[in-house]
Chain A
Amino acid sequence: MSVTENKSEPEEEHERIWDRIGRPFTRWKKTLLEKSRPHKTLHYWVKKAFEELLAIRIIRFIVQLSAFLVLFYAGIVFVLGYDPLMGTIFSGVAWLIPIFGYIPMPFDMPQGIAQGTATSFFDLIQFIGQQGVFPYIAVGVILIVPILVGRSFCGWICPFGFVQDLFALTPIRKRFPSKKLDQRLKSVKYVILFIVLFFVAWLGVSTFFGIDANLRGAIPLEFATALWTTINPSSTFFVILPYLYLYGVISPILTEWNPPFLAWGIPMYIRLGFLIVVLLVALFMTRPFCRYLCPTGAMMGLVGEFSFLTISRSATECLGPTCDSPRCKQACPVGIDVMAKPFGPIHDRECILCLDCVAKCGHDSVKVEYG
């Protein structure tokens, strides 16, 4: 039997008053005490600044920015066909690009356009699959990488994820759909994934048996080559826009070279409209594309659910519903309610392992686990 049940009426009244006045007062007193602690010397502030500098969010930002710059520059090199910084001190940095380029990366690389190169495994699946060949390498990558590191590529490397993070920095109040609607919208990306894979399989099998002419004749070339990559906002942002600027109608440098995918037709309107809508929504919501639309993330999430690398909720340190500052939930860019998860490793296919919840938890109860 608990003590509270035996309390008399005055005692309960005292508790109520204590709740209203005493506890906030204690907190205020505690803050005052913390502020007046003698150890807050220069050393303390230097140490604190160093800790802040090495905070997870800052490290992630630096990694994201580096990946963004390398990949964006790779897009420029691809568009131009040569290295504009060749001969300068920066050309050494650009050595990274071909190294990056030869590895099928498990996310939407900016070079992955219908008429361009393909290094994202999802682009590879579309490109190779529609030729009637099973994409072994791409499938191998999708199975290996998320098992080893989960969806951390989404949170740490993906350049379009970084663009969305930058948009989220705008001081506009973020709004999120209700939990039920959120769950329904999150399933959209799996529907997109299924449609794309079904289409690729259909076209691939038709090509294998030599009966693909009618199918290819019925749809624009770009959609047949890579259904998703053609409208992928990431490809539009990193490749189509530079192309348009350098060779298209926006450019002062008009050339005779006029690739078909830059023509102002329905595919171009669709991809530009899609990109604008995604970026506009990204002003009001964190990572809307990753949450609801990205089939690459969906594919990684399905495998990454079994990942060795996970976030873990400590049974001994997490206060659960009694936590006075549930910042882990508020910090999550993809809307995972960490505190609603059972204790131990959190196997959520939406988790992009950004570690914001780990950084934000004031009780050190959200941790990273491997194994």
Chain B
Amino acid sequence: MNRRVIAIAILCVGLAALAFGIALGQHEIVRSWLQVFSDAYAPFFPQPP
């Protein structure tokens, strides 16, 4: 099979996995692990009103 076809197929599967992961809220797991950064940098970011 053509390499380019395989590459596009892999890319589509990757995008689908990424979208599914975000839909399931897995990015929140990443966010919670990185909470230390949020804490450390909270003074730098604008606070919600």
Chain A residues engaging chain B, CB cutoff 8 angstroms = 74, 77-78, 81-83, 86, 91, 94-95, 97-98, 101-102, 104, 111, 116-119, 124, 127-128, 133, 135-144, 147-148, 303, 306-308, 347
Contact A141 B18, CB 8 Å, known A95-B41, A98-B41:
yes
Task: Count chain A CB atoms within 10 A of each CB in B3, B16, B30 and give the residue with the most.
Answer: B30
B interface secondary structure, majority: helix
Chain B: minimal CB distance from A132 (Å): 13
> Can you list 23 contacts pairing A with B, beta carbon distance less than 8 Å?
A77-B36, A77-B37, A78-B36, A78-B37, A83-B41, A98-B34, A98-B38, A101-B37, A102-B30, A102-B31, A117-B33, A118-B33, A119-B30, A119-B34, A135-B21, A136-B17, A137-B26, A137-B30, A139-B14, A142-B14, A143-B11, A306-B7, A347-B3
Whether A128 and B37, one on each chain, are in contact in the complex, defined by CB atoms closer than 8 angstroms, is no
A136 contact from B4, B24, B31, B39, Cβ within 8 A:
B24
B14 contact from A97, A101, A128, A147, Cβ within 8 A:
A147
Whether A95 and B44, one on each chain, are in contact in the complex, defined by CB atoms closer than 8 angstroms, is yes
Chain B: minimal CB distance from A343 (Å): 16
Scan residues 1-36 of chain B and give those whose CB is less than 8 A from a CB of chain A: 3-4, 6-7, 10-11, 13-22, 24, 26-27, 29-31, 33-34, 36
Whether B14 and A140, one on each chain, are in contact in the complex, defined by CB atoms closer than 8 angstroms, is yes
Residues of B within 8 A of A347 (CB): 3
B6 contact from A78, A144, A306, Cβ within 8 A:
A306
Task: Count chain A CB atoms within 10 A of each CB in B22, B24, B36 and give the residue with the most.
Answer: B36
> How many angstroms between the C-alpha atoms of A11 and B5 in the bound complex?
56
> How many angstroms between the C-alpha atoms of A136 and B4 in the bound complex?
24
> How many angstroms between the C-alpha atoms of A95 and B41 in the bound complex?
8
> How many angstroms between the C-alpha atoms of A94 and B45 in the bound complex?
12
Q: Is B48 an interface residue (CB 8 A)?
A: no
A118 contact from B14, B30, B43, Cβ within 8 A:
B30
> How many angstroms between the C-alpha atoms of A74 and B36 in the bound complex?
11
Number of chain B residues whose Cβ lies closer than 8 Å to a Cβ of chain A: 32
Residues of A within 8 A of B20 (CB): 136, 140
B18 contact from A74, A98, A144, Cβ within 8 A:
A144
> How many angstroms between the C-alpha atoms of A118 and B18 in the bound complex?
17
Residues of A within 8 A of B16 (CB): 140
Residues of A within 8 A of B21 (CB): 135-140
Whether A136 and B30, one on each chain, are in contact in the complex, defined by CB atoms closer than 8 angstroms, is no
Residues of B within 8 A of A116 (CB): 33
Whether A133 and B14, one on each chain, are in contact in the complex, defined by CB atoms closer than 8 angstroms, is no
> How many angstroms between the C-alpha atoms of A78 and B6 in the bound complex?
39
Residues of B within 8 A of A128 (CB): 26, 29
Residues of A within 8 A of B29 (CB): 127-128
Contact A136 B26, CB 8 Å, known A83-B40, A117-B36:
yes
Whether A82 and B31, one on each chain, are in contact in the complex, defined by CB atoms closer than 8 angstroms, is no
Chain A: minimal CB distance from B8 (Å): 8
Whether A139 and B17, one on each chain, are in contact in the complex, defined by CB atoms closer than 8 angstroms, is yes
> How many angstroms between the C-alpha atoms of A118 and B33 in the bound complex?
7
Whether B40 and A133, one on each chain, are in contact in the complex, defined by CB atoms closer than 8 angstroms, is no
Chain B: minimal CB distance from A324 (Å): 33
Chain B: minimal CB distance from A210 (Å): 20
Smallest CB-CB A-B distances: 8 pairs: A143-B14, A136-B21, A140-B18, A137-B21, A140-B17, A144-B14, A117-B33, A306-B7
Whether A102 and B26, one on each chain, are in contact in the complex, defined by CB atoms closer than 8 angstroms, is no
Task: Count chain A CB atoms within 10 A of each CB in B13, B19, B41 and give the residue with the most.
Answer: B41
Contact A307 B30, CB 8 Å, known A86-B43, A136-B17:
no
> How many angstroms between the C-alpha atoms of A142 and B20 in the bound complex?
15
Residues of B within 8 A of A139 (CB): 14, 17, 21
Residues of A within 8 A of B13 (CB): 143
6 additional contacts, CB 8 Å, given A133-B26, A144-B15?
A77-B37, A81-B40, A95-B41, A140-B14, A144-B11, A347-B3
